[in-house]
Amino acid sequence: MDHILLNENFFSRNTNVVAKNLIGKRLVKIIRNENKKIRLVGMIVETEAYGYKSDEASHAYRGMTKRNRVMFGPVGRSYVYFTYGNHYCFNVTAKSKNQIAGAVLIRALQPEEGIQYMKDYRNINDLKLLTNGPGRITQAFCINKQHNDYDLTDISNDLYIEKGFNPNLVLATKRIGIKKSMHEYWRYILASKEENVIQLNKFVSNKKENIHYQICKLL
DNA sequence: TCGATGATTGAG
DNA sequence: TCAATCATCGAA
């Protein structure tokens, strides 16, 4: 069964390359209900890359702290942190051999399996608002601080990332909600081209008209 | 120890 | 547009 999981080699690349290539993959969490295993699954449709020095918006910018230490460790691990007094954000550590630290923030998913459980955890019924934001994902998947530093390449854990499909079109834009290094196009979103018009995936967060983007993957 | 703040969200 | 809300960080 291991062949369906992303492995260490996948995450041992430049953080931006991994962020781009995570689009179309599947985040899976196994929960238990009355001794039955339930799969919560969402396809990754939006990510952001965060680096080390030169990336002022990154938690790792000023070096290692108690909170960000996972970003400096092995790749393919979860980095979960608490923010704004309310929300958890879920990241995957990823960096090439010559990078000191790096992580990819998972910003939006397209719900695929276990949708009713996600709706219950979020206490909403609107599919489009279920997992279209980093804080919404962790609430829908019941991910919190205890899921920090999980090995996401190990299928014996209840949280991992599966191979998905190869998207035709991925766009790069500026990252959301930061005040530094705002010029970098390190946010990646799933899109499609329909009758020559580019359409963002409907589960992407912070959708805006006239969004400025670069096409970074087109098959 | 202490004040400032944040990779957000939901309500108005 | 704005308040909620608290763990974390860096300065004192």
pLDDT in tens, A183-209: 999 999 999 999 999 999 999 999 887
Closest residue, CA to C1' of C10: A62
Whole-number pLDDT of residue A53: 87
Q: How far is the CA of A85 from the C1' of B1 (A)?
A: 21
Average pLDDT of the residues of chain A: 96
Name the nucleotide with the smallest C1'–CA separation from A79: B7
Task: Verify if strand B has an atom below 7 Å from the CB of A21.
Answer: no
Q: How far is the CA of A212 from the C1' of C6 (A)?
A: 34
The residues close to strand C, meaning Cβ under 7 A, are A 59, 62-63, 65-68, 81-82, 84-86, 145
Taken in order of first residue, the domains within chain A and their CATH numbers are: 2-166 (3.10.300.10)
Q: How far apart are CA A101 and CA A131, in angstroms?
A: 27
The answer to pTM > 0.95 is yes
Whole-number pLDDT of residue A2: 58
Contact between residue A69 and residue A101 where contact means Cβ atoms under 8 Å apart: no
Q: How far apart are CA A130 and CA A141, in angstroms?
A: 10
Tokens representing A66 are 């108690």
Q: How many CB atoms lie within 10 A of CB A164?
A: 18
Q: How many CB atoms lie within 10 A of CB A192?
A: 12
Reference A19, options A55, A54, A50, A64; nearest CA is A50
Whole-number pLDDT of residue A141: 98
